[in-house]
Amino acid sequence: MKQINRADAVMLQVLSRVTPTPFRVDVTIDGRPVVMELDTGASVTVVNSTLWKRIGYPELSPPTVQLRSFTGHVISLKGEATVSVGCRGQLKQLRIRMANQPVVNIMGRDWIEAFGDADSLRMIFTRDASINCIGSGFQGKKIFDQFEALFKPELGHCTKIKAHLELKEGAVPVFRRPFPLAFAMHDAVEKELDRYVKMGILTPLDRSSWAAPVVTVKKPNSRIRICADFSTGLNDQLVIDSYPIPRPEDLCQALRGGITFTKLDLSDAYLQVELDDESKKFLVINTHKGLFQYNRLPFGVASAPAIFQKIMDTMLAGIPNVAAYLDDIILTGKTDEEHRATLREVLRQLEEFGFRIRKEECTFFQKEVEYLGHILSARGIQADPKRTAAIVNMPLPGNVAKLRSFLGMCNYYTEFVPKLAGLCKPLNQLLRKDSQWNWTREHTQAVERVKSMLNSPLPLTHYHAE
């Protein structure tokens, strides 16, 4: 660490490049999965504003250090915070700094030493030159410079299409009282409501015929997330759009012939879509602070997935080598030039529609990517071993809902295990309307056989011929 003598602050050397090809690691920050770049030449850990937004806007205190890049330029800091960091099965409270300017999200020596030495950490890092950071030498940097506005941290606003909710004939407004809220939570909820109002997501109301309560979820950084509960009331009276949600296996097949893959992640995807005026009056939440009307499409609305899928399909229509499953966009190309051309066209459409992308959650020009529970490469399609391991480790289903969840996860992998449907037959019988819940040894054996099949190496399946 190089220390610069200054009376007003400690100056630290940071963001030096120690290898031409960086190491990256998957960590969690306040419960959110993120990707960091290992840099043993950096004294402290520093992130950009986009990642700060991604992890839930942890409250910042004034910076206690000043930073310089390895070229000697001062890196302006917005502030710093203590966050909960998960890595290698450990959870630690560590200090994070947020930069005022675009920087690579760096795991410095302070975090490295908290989880182990750099050499042992490299054992779990993915080494890859084509990473999602500014200044990495990535072949698509010119494309990023061209579409810089797409990666700004503010909430996007789709200007081409507004979401419309249709009520069933004879629908009657439902006004539900707010759920009880502990007094200790009042300030945090009010702060989050104020933030949503400032962002244009909510508008205060004096009165409404419709109202739904909210559920508050406390996050590790002491902030909370407000979730509207439309499960009883509005959702029961909505006409659900019959627009089809694509099957993951069909989307994977649509990418055949690709040699590298790019995944794009929309930031707070549904909230980037504005509601039409008629629909806004149905989406009202009831809180201890009063009524608030949604101006954007929130999660939890029964028709939201079909609405959003239709917008994605409309936006990407006619572009080759691209697929979208709700807010998960993936694209490819038979050559690097074809891949770049598709990426430009997709980014152009996203920009024209007014969307924003969470850059640090995207991956670019990868030879192998995870997509909807599958691993895609030029060789073919494989089951994601992390997903199958999650199924293997599930406890025995104790009721119909848990059994339905178990079978839903298994259905993802029938293409890899043709016998899977037959093995699940006695389990599916428990889901019949005329069947009573009576778990027997036969059902236990069926679950064990399914897990055994999924726990064995699953074969690579090839893309279908055109």
Instruction: Calculate mean pLDDT across residues 244-253.
Output: 82
> 407-420: buried (b, 16+ CB within 10 Å) or exposed (e) per residue?
bebbebbebbbeeb
- With beta carbons less than 8 A apart as the criterion, state whether 158 and 311 touch: yes
CA angle 201, 205, 211 (to 5 degrees): 85
At 102, list the tokens: 């675009």
Q: Range(s) for CATH 2.40.70.10 in the chain?
A: 3-127
pLDDT category at 140 given cuts 50, 70, 90 is low
Topology classification of domain 3-127: Cathepsin D, subunit A; domain 1 (2.40.70)
pTM over 0.75: no
Whether 5 has a pLDDT exceeding 70, the answer reads no
Of the ranges 133-142, 278-287, 325-334, 453-462, which one carries the lowest mean pLDDT score?
Answer: 133-142
- What is the helix (H) or strand (E) element at residue 53, kind and residue range? helix 49-54
Task: State whether residue 398 is helix, strand or coil.
Answer: coil
- With beta carbons less than 8 A apart as the criterion, state whether 330 and 261 touch: yes
pLDDT the model gives residue 175: 96
User: Class for domain 382-455, per CATH?
Assistant: alpha beta
- With beta carbons less than 8 A apart as the criterion, state whether 1 and 12 touch: yes
Q: Range(s) for CATH 3.30.70 in the chain?
A: 382-455
Whether 300 has a pLDDT exceeding 70, the answer reads yes
Task: State whether residue 428 is helix, strand or coil.
Answer: helix
Cβ count within 10 A of residue 109:
19
- With beta carbons less than 8 A apart as the criterion, state whether 96 and 67 touch: no
pLDDT category at 308 given cuts 50, 70, 90 is very high
